[in-house]
Structure formats: structure tokens, C-alpha cells
Amino acid sequence: MLFALLGAVAFGSTCPDPTAVEAATAYDADRTWIHEPGWFAPLTDPDKAPLAKQGYRDDDAMLSLTLGEKTLAWPVASMAYHHVANDVVGDQAVVVTY
């Protein structure tokens, strides 16, 4: 009870923004290795199917993204090849990387 009261006093009726990120990376082009385009084809706007009907094992590793009522998942074993998925979840264009 005391902890909760202290928290309420500290933050009032609102909470600090937990998504704020202030750091900017000191990019160093001399430490960057760039290769020719096309090494790994990104996965862009592919046709979808229900995850439940695609025959994955229960323990197959997945990345998933939920926006609103929509959830889209990508098998880690596939993202380890493509590295980038360009897609739309709900009405939001997203890029998923691995």
C-alpha cells in the first residue's frame, strides 16, 4: 500500500513516457561494411494465411506484431534468411527486421 501511494504521489495521475528514447548513434561510415544489393531478398507484401492452418509446430519460433485487432507473425527461420519484411498490419505500413 505504501509503495502504491508513493508511486501515485511521484507521478500524480499520469505516468512518465516509457517509450521516449533520447540517444542518437554516433554513426561511423568507416566501420560499416556494405555489400552489393540483392544478397537477401526482402519479404514484401506476400499473401497471408491463418497461422493456425500453416502446419507450424507449437515450438516453432515466431516474431509477431499486433496493431489494433490485427496480428501478423513471421517464422524466425524465414526471417533469418530474408532479414527484412515489408508489410502492412491493420492499416499501418511496417518494416520488421531480424
Partner 1 sequence: MICNSGTAFRARVDGRRLSFEEMGIFNGVFVMKDHQTSTMWSHYTGEAFDGPLKGKRLKWVQLERGSAAQVLAEHPNAQVPKRGHMRFRGEIPQRDRAALLGSDLPPQFVPTLPDGLAARLPLHTHGLGVAVGSEHRFYPLDGLGSSAVVPDQIGGVPVVVWMRESSASAAAYSRCVKGRVLSFRPTEHAGRDALEDVQTHSVWTATGAAVSGPMAGEQLTSVRALVTDWYGWAAYFGDTTVWSAAPDTP
Size of the site for partner 1 (CB under 8 A): 83
Using only C-alpha atoms, the chain has a radius of gyration, in whole angstroms, of 20
For residue 90, give the 3-state DSSP assignment: coil
**Per CB under 8 A, 29 contacts partner 1:** yes
**Per CB under 8 A, 90 contacts partner 1:** no
- Alpha-carbon distance 61 to 74, whole Å? 9
C-alpha distances out from residue 13 to 2, 7, 18, 20, 27, Å: 16, 10, 15, 19, 39
In the bound complex, what is the minimum distance in angstroms from residue 26's beta carbon to partner 1? 9
In the region spanning residues 44 to 63, those forming contacts with partner 1, defined by CB under 8 A, are: 44, 46-52, 54-63
In the bound complex, what is the minimum distance in angstroms from residue 9's beta carbon to partner 1? 9
**Per CB under 8 A, 68 contacts partner 1:** no
